[in-house]
């Protein structure tokens, strides 16, 4: 069961609720065609217990500002403008990574993700399947 907690995060002057699940872990889901940056996640220190993030259908072109989310297990950044898999090495609990419909050409930056079980990269510009 998911409920709205009294917490939120603001991107582009729009507040998005942070949902709290039955295990007291938090989930953030954003679908905003105007969003260009997720730099506000850097100030997300109070929510280091976020387990699931979904930020899709945006103009984001870089993966960053996530290093403090140590228990993050699912990261969905599908349908964005991301060119490179990067800045994920600190996400030691990440088990599922969704980067469908981006502009990724190479698979790299996954070496330290020892718990990664599922990787979704469909509808990118991958030239070769290497780096797994």
Say if 130 falls within a structural domain.
no
* Residue 132 counted as domain residue: no
Bridge partners (DSSP) of residue 17 are 8
Record the pTM: 0.84
**pLDDT per position as a tens digit, 48-76:** 678 899 999 999 999 998 888 888 999 99
Structure-model confidence comparison of residues 16 and 22, the more confident one: 16
- Looking at residue 41, its pLDDT comes to 76
Spatial distance between the Cα atoms of 129 and 106, rounded to a whole number of angstroms: 8
Both tokens assigned to 26: 């938090």
Compute the distance between CA of residue 127 and CA of residue 113 in angstroms, rounded to an integer.
22
Range of the domain at 114: 2-120
Residue 129 lies in a domain: no
Q: Count of domains in the chain?
A: 1
- Split at pLDDT 50, 70, 90, the class of 40 is confident
pLDDT-derived band at 6 (thresholds 50, 70, 90) equals: very low
CATH number at residue 100: 3.80.10.10
| Confidence class for position 78, pLDDT limits 50, 70, 90 | very high
* Interacting residues of 13 by C-beta distance below 8 A, sequence separation 6+: none
**Could you please report the per-residue DSSP string of 13-82?**
TEEEEEEEETTS-EEEEEE-TT----GGGGG-GGGTTEEEEEEESS------S-TT-TT--EEE--SS--
Residue 127 lies in a domain: no
Q: 54 lies in a domain? A: yes
């Amino acid at each position: 069961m998911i409920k709205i907690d009294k917490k939120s995060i603001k991107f582009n002057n729009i507040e998005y609720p942070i949902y709290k699940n039955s295990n007291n872990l938090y989930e953030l889901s954003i679908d905003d065609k105007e969003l260009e940056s997720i730099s506000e996640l850097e100030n997300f220190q109070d929510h280091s217990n976020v387990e699931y993030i979904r930020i899709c259908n945006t103009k984001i072109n870089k993966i960053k500002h996530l290093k403090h989310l140590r228990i993050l297990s699912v990261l969905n950044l599908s349908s964005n403008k991301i060119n490179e898999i990067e800045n994920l090495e600190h996400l030691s609990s990440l088990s599922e990574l969704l980067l469908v419909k981006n502009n990724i050409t190479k698979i790299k930056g996954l070496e330290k993700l020892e718990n990664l079980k599922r990787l979704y990269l469909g509808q990118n510009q991958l030239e070769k399947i290497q780096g797994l």
